[in-house]
Amino acid sequence: MRISKKTPQLSKNEIKKFFDLAEDSERNRAPKILHNKGDYVNKVFNFILSDSYMQPHCHPGDEKIENMYLIEGSFALIIFNDKGVVVDSIILEKGKKEFIAVPAFTWHTYIMLSERVIVYEEMDGIYNPSSWKEMASWAPIEDSKEALIYLKSLKSKLIS
C-alpha cells in the first residue's frame, strides 16, 4: 500500500469554487483532478455535499487500492458483500480516523455525515473509463428516484 507523503494543499478560493460547483451539480459533488491523462497515480479532491449519492461500486484490479484522506467534514464508508448486504461501516472524521485504504474488488459507497466533505483520493492504475470501476447491479443508479430512497435507508442503518 502506498500512502501519500504529502497531501496537496487547497486555498480558501479553491474550496469555495469547488463547493459552488458541487452545489450546481446534479450529483451534489465536484472533483478537482490533479493528475494528467495517462498518469499511473490518480489524484483527486472530491468536494461532496450531504445529499450526494454514489452508486456502490468496486475497483477491479489488484493495484486499485483507493487511499482516502479526509480533509474536511465527516463521512461513513459503507462496505457491502457481493449481494449488496452491508458488512461494515467505517466513520471518518477530523481529529479521529482521517485515512482509510479501500481494498481492490471491494463493494463500497460513501454516506456524508456533515453538510460538506472534502476527501483527497489516490489510486494506482492508468484511468480507463471502461475498466476503472464496476457499478453494483443490486443498487440504484445515480440520479434515479430510487437512489434517494436507497441513500436514506443506508443513512438510517448508520443511526440505528
**Domains of the chain with CATH codes:** 12-159 (2.60.120.10)
Residue bearing cell 489524484: 43
Query: Whole-angstrom Cα distance, residue 20 to residue 25?
Result: 9
Output the CA angle 7-9-10, nearest 5 degrees: 135
Number of other residues whose CB lies within 10 A of the CB of residue 36 = 8
67-114 per-position pLDDT tens digit: 999 999 999 999 999 999 999 999 999 999 999 999 999 999 999 999
pLDDT at 30: 98
Contact present, 68 and 98 (Cβ < 8 Å): no
2-61 per-position pLDDT tens digit: 445 578 899 999 999 999 999 999 999 999 999 999 999 999 999 999 999 999 999 999
pLDDT at 130: 84
Q: Are strands 29-33 and 107-112 parallel, antiparallel or unpaired?
A: unpaired
pLDDT of 66 over the 50 cut: yes
pLDDT of 160 over the 80 cut: no
Distance in angstroms between the alpha carbons of the first and the last residue of the chain:
33
pLDDT at 5: 56
The model's pTM is 0.92
pLDDT at 159: 64
pLDDT at 128: 86
The three three-digit cell numbers of residue 75, written as one number: 463521512
